[in-house]
Structure 1
Amino acid sequence: VCVFAVKVGFQGKEFAESFEVGLALAVGMTPQLLPAITSVVLAAGAKVMSRHQVIVKQLLAIENLGSMTVLCSDKTGTLTEGIIQLHDTLGIEGSPSERVQELAFYNAFFQTGFANPIDRAIRDSREFPTSDIEKLDEIPYDFIRKRLSVRIRRNGDSLLITKGALAHVLECCSTVETADGSLADLGPYREAIDSRFIELSNAGLRVLGLAIRNVDTPHLHKEDETGMTLVGFLVFADPPKADARETIEQLRDLGVGLKVITGDNRAVAESISKRVGIMSPVIVTGTDLRQLSDEALFQRAREADIFAEVEPNQKEQIILALKKGGQIVGYLGDGINDASALHAADVGISVSSAVDVAREAAQVVLLKQDLGILVQGVREGRKTLANTLKYVFFAIAANFGYMFSLAVASVFMPFEPLLAHQILLVNLLADFPAMSLATDSVDPEQIHRPRRWDVGYVVRFMMSFGFASSIFDFMTFGAIYYIFGGDKPELFQTGWFVESTLAGLMILMVIRTQRPFLLSKPGALFLFAVLSITLITIWIPYSPFSEKLGFVTPPPMLMVIALGVTFLYGVGMEIVKALFYRYLAHR
């Protein structure tokens, strides 16, 4: 608009010609390919990730995956094998008990709530006859009570069987069943029960309690879970994955911290975590979280490695606290109670075997519940983000500097440095190699650390490279104008077209890497596009349709100047790049 106003209002240029030039400059300065580049880059990234068993449901999640700084995950299936087995059934004194196993089987067999690995492990360990058992009622599991009750009739007796987290089952009990079948008060046994629980938990074993009570009421209520008898313990094993330690190290090397969020007790979580390399972990329990203010939660969320005994709603609180601290948070979950956390995270991740609600809430789905797959997904996400940023930097550096130079020259020169259709031709030729950035290779150091959109960084980049680019443009203006005279606009436009197009290709080569560009291997398609457009640019002034484009056949000296300035431009941009990444990039 400014160029148009100056040319028409102050210089008396023709309205139509000035409008065309102003419009062409506006089009040239706009990164019009950004939506297309972003879509192509993200689609290419999603295709590559699918080969690594990572399915992307929302393409923009790829960038968040690459920017992720913290991954929150349950331990089951990620740090552990995810194949829960009934390791032992113990009576109150700690001896193996078939009675405990039988009662647990009836509880697991007759419950009709959501499927879960605990009940599956109980049923798979051993079957007991059920033909003479009648199910009467049940109280489904919930994440507040943390127990499940089933009422059955056997041999004429109505029996309530309750299993769940030991502490929550003990809340319902007043007596225990000893080895000889007699009942005794819970009190004298409480210390031994707690000691056994701690011992098993420290070994990485998950311990549930099992209690019974005869109930004759016609309808079962939660209030009936009282005055029960503790019969024994159900001990479950889920060993750590053999490669869990290595995978966690790979995440750390990529700058991604791992925080374990689990409903298991702190002793089990700590034991498993230590066995996979999370030494001296800072542990926060669900009880601790309930006592924290919002500000204190923000601090503890940043410091903690493990969140144990956590309730479903607390998972979302943890994630929001981490995001408040500036982290890009990923959450890996597969259960009903993970849906809100998956929505709250910057990138929600689930697995193909997850419940429907978890898969629907997730943006990324792993075909296998394995952190190793996710590591590869993070790498591909960073490649995708890096290639997207390459185009952004090219658009703001090359286009801004080039169009700024043209705008200034259009105001002060006696003729147009480039006609409107020539400006658009330069822009069109630059688009082909820019599109090929979707499949460009990425230097390893650009994958090593998380990257994110930073407006301040982009502005500093634009100012540094844009104005440096304009300086070389003005040098080219001067060289062509004074060597070949200012009375040959077609010759000037020809030389400026060649130099500006080649300079655009040069800066694309320079800014695609933080290394000296000769030390970074470009992608094959990108290199082919750059070389092809270089040859086409040099050929156009000599082509049969050169005159129709407003060009003339240039003398050899003009081409030497154009190529020489392009070379100096590349050297100059390398110097600017080195100074930028040393002094300005990390402000």
Structure 2
Amino acid sequence: MTGLSSTEVQARIKRGEVNNFEPRSGRTYFEILRHNIFNVFNVMLFTMLLIVLLSGDFWTVLFAGFSVLTNSLIGTVQEINAKRKLNRLANLAPKHVVVLRDGQPQTILNKQVVIDDVILIRPGDRLVVDGEVIESDSLEIDESHLTGESDAVYKEVGDDVSSGSFCIAGTGMMRATRVGAKSTVNRLTTIAKAYKNTLTPTQKKIASIVKLALVFLTVFGPMVFISGWVRAESFLGIIRNTVVFTTSLVPQGLILTTILALTIGALKISRHQTLIQRVNAVESMANVTVLCFDKTGTMTRNHLAVREVIPLDTSYQLDEIEKWLQVYVHNLGHQNTTAAALARHLFNDQQPDDLPIKIREIPFTSARKWGAIVLADGAFALGAPERLLDEHHWGMSIVDDRASQGLRVLTFAKIAEPPPHAQHIARDTIKPMALIVIEDQVRDDIRETLDSFRAQGVRPKVISGDNLATVRAVAHYAGMQTQIAYEGWQLDDMTDAQLRDAVQEADVFARVEPDTKRRIVSALRAQGEYVAMVGDGVNDVPALKEADLAIVMNDGAQISKDVADIVLLNNAMSTLPLAFHEGTEITQTLYGTTKIFLTKNVYNTLLFIFVLFMSLPFPITPIQISWASFGTANIPGGLMALGWLRPARINIFRRDVLDYIITGGFVGAVGMALMYVVTYRYTNYDVDVSRSATTIFFILYSLSIYLFVCGIDVAQPRTYGRYPFATILTIVLTGGAVIAASLFPDVFEFVYPPFEIIVLILAIWLLCVLIVSVGMRNRAMLHQFYTLAEVTERDIRLYQLEEKGQIKKAT
């Protein structure tokens, strides 16, 4: 078989019969632009600003639109730049396929496949186009991604295969029949709109807050109109007030800085040879509490070597055993690392030509734990000792001894009756011939790597298909707790409750099959653990899909990389602690910017509600709130997202973020309302002076929030020297505001309040800062508030009974 010629390939390319359809792996440039600029909030705001502009109020449009538009443009530019850089980085892990062209195997990119190309299929390969099988050597295809059927399907010559499925065992060839947008997986991708934006925990919280803000806007927005109408304000004045309320309520700056922080985080992490395939995985790294991984390739180097071959049957000499081993290895359709180690030991790079040819092969899989070749006069199998040796066989003592040294042991046996596909071999037909002892060098840095994970609060767990004693020995060398360990058969016999207890108490699991790996991950997640799974093979795919964070080695099977959130380009788990640390830093940034923006939004919104109920004029103009917000929230938040500012340590969202938002927001709103009312009355109802006083308080209080986020408490002078850059930035921003207001009072709609009002502003501001500082150290009232929303065990039990239909659901 020669495949297509170069001329035939070029002809098909000219006809457009090429697999150049790229499924969406992220937001398109148009979607980035639409999400950042043409979103619901911006459309609503700019519609109101258009009305203001048509009324001739140019400065309001400039200031109110400047902040939002600047944030949107910065977010768009940064996300586009990051997308380009990440796309270039993704080229370091290209997706290839091997085809026959001009009679020679050629490795080409997936998108270069043309119709009628002959494609070689090997275990771990993901089929990139639809086709017809033209050669099959015990070819097993997993089509669960398309059909939902978990069992592999044997494919014979003439059978159709679909793109999106993958080979789990055996080898073969296929002829491409449908490529590009016409292939099955790409048609499904188009229908399902492949790009799915999975939110991180923090993004889910922010999304909930935005939804709540929109509800408030729906309720209180009309009240702004009604209040203005009752007060007989002009239509332009009502629209201006609505602009202020809208920009204050929706945390648009927070949404943009969140996207910016995650995108920049992905670029930072890429410096550690770690490709982020899903940007949201950046924050997921900081949430990981359990890290699951295989022994081979992670704890060891996966450079296998045969240490010894131990005969088990005296009727066979060692030379004869090795001859049959040569036959076995020579006939394997796919050379994995174990087969390659055997080949190096047996052939010394020179394979004889006179070896018998197999009739068929039963490929090794992680589920079977054995593989076999069938010859004209018998069959031979190679696999796990517990599959091919009786538990009382004298060779099991040797297996246990070598396994306790961290060595891997396989059994080679002759089979009297060739087994059918995918069935267990009858014990009475097995004649054990030898044990093969294989060593794999443990990585020198594995203990240090696992210690780094523990230091970050991540508990490592090894899940392997190898012998328990082997896994336990390697895990012990790596410094893991190995007293409690389980084998796959023990886990399979457990109830869900027992499994949940087992996966919590043990860190070592051996002889685990692919679906059991998935159950372990699922059981950990059911107990609230945030699970990361490191894998590289086809057998890891179910667990990778189940995990919160899927991490795959670059040399791993293509199907495992397809489902991965993160790809380790250098195939070394030792880079993960550095990447996890970067993820933690980015999460700190997200928490810090959330405190800055949401506290501002809470006290602004509450202030406006207080003023509405008191039937007072709106306390601030669109111009005033725009330039004040830009300087006190947008600039610090943007610098924090870029990594130029760092927030103080934040561990728990509710305690360290939500508590401050509630406390600082409520106290700030009360203090600002008090100051506004007193100023309004004291100045004989001078709304311009009162609004200017509100702006001054707004600037001072917002800057104190930003300083608190950076670890500087204005109420505690001893903290002033903690972060000189933050202090200097505060002075610059305050000075800039004073200078701008002094030079251009008409532009900024600013009127200097009397001296006594300045004193009042400073007094109320310091009082508010002091109350917030004390409140954050004594949170008894907040905790009383939280108890109202606590879910008791009785609530959970009643909910479960409702779901089971044992009690009537509440209406």
Q: Secondary structure at the match of 1:368?
A: coil
Distance 2:573 2:552 in 1: 11
- Describe the shift of the 1:402–1:196 C-alpha distance in structure 2 as closer, same or farther (beyond 3 A): same
Tell me what 1:231 maps to: 433
Alignment match of 1:135 (pick from 347, 352, 357): 357
Tell me what 1:145 maps to: 368
Q: Which amino acid aligns with 1:27?
A: T
| Runs (5+) with no aligned partner, structure 1 | 172-186
Distance 2:285 2:512 in 1: 25
Tell me what 1:65 maps to: 285
Tell me what 1:489 maps to: 687
Distance 1:406 1:75 in 2: 60
Q: How far apart are 1:318 and its partner, in Å?
A: 0.9
Residues 247 and 375, structure 1, Cα contact 8 Å, conserved in 2: yes
- Whether 1:551 aligns to 2:750 is yes
| Runs (5+) with no aligned partner, structure 2 | 1-218, 788-811
1:112-127 maps to which residues of 2 (within 5 A)? Answer: 112-113=333-334, 115-127=335-347
Alignment match of 2:473 (pick from 265, 271, 276): 271
Distance 2:455 2:695 in 1: 46
Identity %: 21
Tell me what 2:777 maps to: 578
Q: How far apart are 1:59 and its partner, in Å?
A: 0.8
Please give the per-residue CA displacement for 1:28-52, whole angstroms capped at 9, x wherever unaligned. 1211123311111011111111111
Q: Secondary structure at the match of 1:540?
A: helix
Residues 460 and 584, structure 1, Cα contact 8 Å, conserved in 2: no
Q: Which amino acid aligns with 1:162?
A: A
Tell me what 2:299 maps to: 79
Distance 1:567 1:93 in 2: 89
Tell me what 1:180 maps to: none
Residues 57 and 364, structure 1, Cα contact 8 Å, conserved in 2: yes
Distance 1:222 1:67 in 2: 40
Tell me what 2:224 maps to: 4
- Whether 1:196 aligns to 2:398 is yes
- Whether 1:162 aligns to 2:381 is yes
Tell me what 2:668 maps to: 469
Distance 2:520 2:490 in 1: 12
Residues 482 and 508, structure 2, Cα contact 8 Å, conserved in 1: no
- Whether 1:89 aligns to 2:309 is yes
Distance 2:644 2:483 in 1: 40
Residues 163 and 211, structure 1, Cα contact 8 Å, conserved in 2: yes
Residues 152 and 160, structure 1, Cα contact 8 Å, conserved in 2: yes
Q: How far apart are 1:365 and its partner, in Å?
A: 1.0
- Describe the shift of the 1:5–1:562 C-alpha distance in structure 2 as closer, same or farther (beyond 3 A): same
Tell me what 1:423 maps to: 625
Between 1:142-151 and 1:344-353, the stretch displaced more is: 142-151
CA RMSD of aligned residues (A): 3.3
Distance 2:467 2:712 in 1: 47
Q: Secondary structure at the match of 1:235?
A: strand
Distance 1:291 1:460 in 2: 45
- Describe the shift of the 1:76–1:221 C-alpha distance in structure 2 as closer, same or farther (beyond 3 A): closer
Q: Secondary structure at the match of 2:442?
A: coil
Residues 265 and 309, structure 1, Cα contact 8 Å, conserved in 2: yes
- Describe the shift of the 1:553–1:464 C-alpha distance in structure 2 as closer, same or farther (beyond 3 A): closer
1:269-348 maps to which residues of 2 (within 5 A)? Answer: 269-348=471-550
Q: Secondary structure at the match of 2:707?
A: helix
- Describe the shift of the 1:521–1:343 C-alpha distance in structure 2 as closer, same or farther (beyond 3 A): farther
TM-score under structure 1 normalisation? 0.85
Q: Compare relative contact order (CA 8 Å, sep 6+) and give the higher one, 1 or 2.
A: 1
Alignment match of 1:358 (pick from 549, 556, 560): 560
Q: How far apart are 1:210 and its partner, in Å?
A: 0.6
Distance 1:556 1:82 in 2: 76
Q: How far apart are 1:560 and its partner, in Å?
A: 6.1
Residues 490 and 551, structure 1, Cα contact 8 Å, conserved in 2: yes
Please give the per-residue CA displacement for 1:349-377, whole angstroms capped at 9, x wherever unaligned. 11111110011111011123333211112
Please give the per-residue CA displacement for 1:212-253, whole angstroms capped at 9, x wherever unaligned. 3578x8x98667955243211111112332222222222112
Q: Secondary structure at the match of 1:279?
A: coil
Q: Which amino acid aligns with 1:131?
A: D
- Describe the shift of the 1:329–1:570 C-alpha distance in structure 2 as closer, same or farther (beyond 3 A): same
Residues 647 and 709, structure 2, Cα contact 8 Å, conserved in 1: no
Q: How far apart are 1:568 and its partner, in Å?
A: 5.3
Q: How far apart are 1:16 and its partner, in Å?
A: 4.0
Q: How many residues align?
A: 554
- Whether 1:539 aligns to 2:739 is yes
- Describe the shift of the 1:7–1:578 C-alpha distance in structure 2 as closer, same or farther (beyond 3 A): same
- Describe the shift of the 1:576–1:362 C-alpha distance in structure 2 as closer, same or farther (beyond 3 A): same
Residues 393 and 458, structure 1, Cα contact 8 Å, conserved in 2: yes
Tell me what 1:208 maps to: 410
Distance 2:317 2:474 in 1: 24
Distance 2:472 2:767 in 1: 60
- Describe the shift of the 1:145–1:258 C-alpha distance in structure 2 as closer, same or farther (beyond 3 A): same
